[in-house]
């Protein structure tokens, strides 16, 4: 038998945007998926960490174009308008660009034939579904008050926060909105005094939605800092982590939506490989949809510990 067969996509180089920082539980799961694809397909994957800051993503995108990889998998948080000139620059140089986590509908349509796809949840629909399901689980009634702590300021990423708000308002629930600051976006542990201060002024709050996986993983700590007990306020959020598993089991978090971020990393890398080798057009893959609560958390807990969910 001759020498070992080369991996299928051994000559493909992908620069992959993780979204958050190296200590972010959500970003680490996304990267685990990308690195699994690297192992399975034999391509080279280099990761870029952005602390969830759109301006930082834009600056880093411009920098990595100069490295002339075969493809770049970008997070869509900066929005179509901010990213369009850089995507055009990359594509003109023969670099494949695709997106994950937050959709870029204009760019996806414009460059679909060049391999620009999307893998992630449908943002508005996911926010709407989670908020409606959580409000029912929490037993909220017309006139009850809920907080949505989100990212409306971001062009496409903010659609999930909007979906949460619209669902609650449609149920006649009074919604207060609070924007996640850049500081808390980059380091979720800094959110504890922010939420404690909010709840001191809004003691009637019955439900909190943290529209951010890293903030959701800190929600139990936030509520403890605010002097609350498990179940006193119905906590809601996105994505699993070991901390969120514990928070659900202990009653601090009542429901989350799992957008399966491992798949976002895996399929974004695969998209670049398939386009590079076969010129396949961009694929649109919806990874969001599972509501997880105390009733089914045991089905997913082990995967969260392993960094798969």
In this predicted model, what pLDDT tens digit does every residue of 5-19 receive, in sequence order?
677 899 999 999 999
The pLDDT value recorded for residue 5 is: 66
Q: Rounded distance, CA 19 to CA 29, Å?
A: 11
Please state, for a pLDDT cut of 90, what percent of the chain lies above it.
96
- In tens, the pLDDT along 197-217 reads 999 999 999 999 999 999 999
Q: Give the contacts of 184 (CB within 8 A, at least 6 positions apart).
A: 190, 191, 194, 215
Please state, for a pLDDT cut of 70, what percent of the chain lies above it.
98
- In tens, the pLDDT along 21-66 reads 999 999 999 999 999 999 999 999 999 999 999 999 999 999 999 9
Q: Rounded distance, CA 247 to CA 165, Å?
A: 23
What is the average pLDDT across 127-152?
97
Contact present, 280 and 253 (Cβ < 8 Å): no
In 3D space, the residue among 24, 84, 80 whose CA is nearest the CA of residue 50 turns out to be 24
Q: Rounded distance, CA 213 to CA 101, Å?
A: 12
Contact present, 261 and 75 (Cβ < 8 Å): no
- The percent of the chain in helix, strand and coil, each rounded to the nearest 5, is 50, 20, 35
Domains of the chain: 13-121+260-289 (3.40.50.2300), 123-258 (3.40.50.2300)
DSSP-assigned letter for residue 266: H
Q: Rounded distance, CA 229 to CA 164, Å?
A: 24
Joined together, the tokens standing for residue 247 give 């928070």
Q: How confident is the model at residue 289 (pLDDT cuts 50, 70, 90)?
A: confident
Task: List 13's β-bridge partners, or say none.
Answer: 44
Does the pLDDT of residue 254 top 90, yes or no?
A: yes
DSSP E strands, 151-300: 174-179, 205-210, 234-238, 253-258, 284-286, 290-292
DSSP-assigned letter for residue 67: T
Q: What angle do CA 266, 117, 114 make, to 5 degrees?
A: 120
Joined together, the tokens standing for residue 153 give 């300021």
Does the pLDDT of residue 194 top 90, yes or no?
A: yes
The pLDDT value recorded for residue 141 is: 97
- In tens, the pLDDT along 102-123 reads 999 999 999 999 999 999 999 9
* Mean pLDDT, rounded, of the chain: 96
DSSP-assigned letter for residue 208: E
What is Dmax (Cα atoms) for the chain?
74
Token pair 């659900």: residue: 248
DSSP-assigned letter for residue 113: G
Q: How confident is the model at residue 2 (pLDDT cuts 50, 70, 90)?
A: very low
Task: List 72's β-bridge partners, or say none.
Answer: 15, 97
The pLDDT value recorded for residue 15 is: 98
């Amino acid at each position: 038998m001759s020498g070992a067969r080369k991996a299928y996509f051994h000559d493909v180089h992908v620069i992959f945007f993780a979204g958050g920082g190296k200590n972010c539980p959500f970003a680490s799961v996304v990267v685990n998926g990308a690195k699994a694809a690297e192992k399975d397909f034999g391509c080279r994957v280099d990761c870029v960490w952005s602390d969830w800051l759109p301006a930082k993503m834009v600056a880093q995108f411009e920098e990595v174009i100069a490295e002339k990889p075969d493809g770049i998998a970008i997070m869509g948080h900066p929005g179509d308008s901010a990213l369009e000139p850089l995507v055009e620059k990359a594509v003109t140089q023969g670099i494949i660009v695709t997106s994950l986590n937050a959709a870029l509908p204009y760019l996806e349509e414009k460059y679909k034939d060049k391999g620009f796809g999307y893998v992630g949840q449908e943002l508005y629909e996911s926010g709407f579904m989670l908020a409606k399901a959580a409000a029912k689980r929490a037993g909220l009634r017309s006139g009850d008050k809920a907080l949505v702590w989100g990212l409306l300021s971001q062009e496409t990423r903010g659609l999930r926060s909007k979906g949460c708000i619209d669902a609650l308002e449609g149920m006649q629930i009074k919604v207060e909105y609070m924007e996640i600051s850049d500081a808390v976006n980059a380091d979720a542990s800094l959110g504890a005094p922010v939420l404690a201060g909010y709840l001191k002024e809004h003691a009637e709050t019955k439900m909190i939605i943290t529209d951010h996986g890293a903030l959701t993983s800190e929600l139990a700590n936030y509520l403890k800092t605010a002097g609350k007990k498990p179940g006193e306020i119905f906590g809601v959020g996105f994505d699993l982590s070991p901390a969120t598993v514990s928070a659900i089991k202990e009653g601090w978090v009542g429901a989350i939506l799992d957008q399966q971020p491992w798949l976002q990393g895996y399929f974004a890398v695969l998209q670049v490989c398939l386009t590079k080798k076969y010129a396949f057009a961009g694929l649109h893959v919806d990874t969001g949809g599972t509501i997880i609560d105390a009733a089914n958390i045991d089905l997913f807990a082990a995967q969260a510990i392993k960094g798969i969910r």
